Amino acid sequence: MAPLNIQSTYKMNSGYEIPVLGFGVYQTPPEETEKAVLNALQVGYKHVDSAKYYRNEHECAQAIRASGLKRSDVFYTTKVPTNAMGYQQTKEAIDSSLKTANLEYADLILIHAPYGGREAREGSWRALVEAQKEGKTRSIGVSNYGVHHLDELEEYNKNIGGKIDVGQYELHPWLARPDIVEWFQKRNVVIEAYSPLVQAQKMNDPLLKKLSEKHNKTPAQVLLRWSLQKGFVPLPKSVTDKRIEENAAIFDFELSPEDMQTLSTGEYCPVCWDPTVSKD
């Protein structure tokens, strides 16, 4: 793997670049969001992951403006909520997200989850493909789709010519999702890892502590490095100044193949929701 740094990017199917480290804002209260995102941008993050559901899109965009960075230097993601599935509802949700943020375009818009049935999913996707053509978003993707949802979408894309740029999933050593990861890697789709810190529930895990001592890095940094070395784009969330900085200091060490193996637990333990298994 070529050495990565905080400015590194991957190229998506759309032709646009996505920074290899993102900053998450799920459960960041709106009144704390502008400060946290501004802090992250000052530390060097160039990628913010929001969603309509998080109710802090406006504050994320405010921080991007306050940072003094050029709009084109910050990668901004939002997501279509589960209550806006279907063509018309998704079109409206996209416009509403851009209006709330007061942004001309998003870098990435994802369907948050595969709920609502096939017709609604296809309608939502068609609305995203149109939004991409209209320049409302540069890249498009899905989150929380199971392989059966992805196969369905691939069939649909043969009719409408859409391309998936990004898949966003809960991914960490206790939920490595080999089937989904393989599906995307075969198609050159960038994989983002949400809850990459396992929502702070595994910081005292003995495997992690051992690696943390070996590399003189914190358990959080080991988890984020695992994610980077798997080829994912991790999206750690924090409202704590010191941790925002700590979570970005992951480019100066490397886990060995044996370390990576140690963290291959083979477990399937989601800490967030898991719509990948939904059957409708």
> Which residues are known to be catalytic?
54
Residue nearest to ligand NAP (CB): 24
Alpha-carbon gap, residue 224 to 37, rounded angstroms: 19
Binding of residue 43 to ligand NAP (CB under 6 A): no
- How many Cβ atoms sit within 10 Å of the Cβ of residue 264? 11
Alpha-carbon gap, residue 84 to 93, rounded angstroms: 7
Task: Report the residue number, 160 or 269, with the smaller CB distance to ligand NAP.
Answer: 269
- List the x/- string, 174-203, binding to ligand NAP by CB under 6 A: --------------------xxxxxxx--x
What's the helix, strand, coil split of the chain in %, to 5?
Answer: 45, 15, 40
Q: Looking at 20-28, 88-96, 133-141, 249-257, which segment touches ligand NAP (CB under 6 A)?
A: 20-28
Residues facing 169 on adjacent strands: 193
Check the annotation: does 112 bind a ligand.
Answer: yes
User: Minimum distance between the CB of residue 214 and ligand NAP, rounded to whole angstroms?
Assistant: 18
Interface with ligand NAP (CB under 6 A), residue from 41, 131, 220, 263: 220
User: Minimum distance between the CB of residue 15 and ligand NAP, rounded to whole angstroms?
Assistant: 24
User: Minimum distance between the CB of residue 48 and ligand NAP, rounded to whole angstroms?
Assistant: 8
Residues contacting 260, CB < 8 A, separation 6+: 226, 229, 230
**Comparing C-alpha atoms, which of 74, 4, 7 is closest to residue 41?**
74
Binding of residue 143 to ligand NAP (CB under 6 A): yes
3-class DSSP state for residue 78?
strand
User: Minimum distance between the CB of residue 54 and ligand NAP, rounded to whole angstroms?
Assistant: 7
Residues contacting 132, CB < 8 A, separation 6+: 14, 138, 139, 140, 162
Binding of residue 25 to ligand NAP (CB under 6 A): yes
- Classify burial at 195, counting beta carbons within 10 Å of its beta carbon; exposed 0-12, middle 13-18, buried 19 or more: buried
Q: Looking at 19-27, 64-72, 95-103, 248-256, which segment touches ligand NAP (CB under 6 A)?
A: 19-27
Task: Report the residue number, 155 or 253, with the smaller CB distance to ligand NAP.
Answer: 253
Residues in contact with ligand NAP by the rule CB under 6 A? 24-27, 49, 112, 143-144, 168, 194-200, 203, 218, 220, 235-240, 243, 246-247, 272
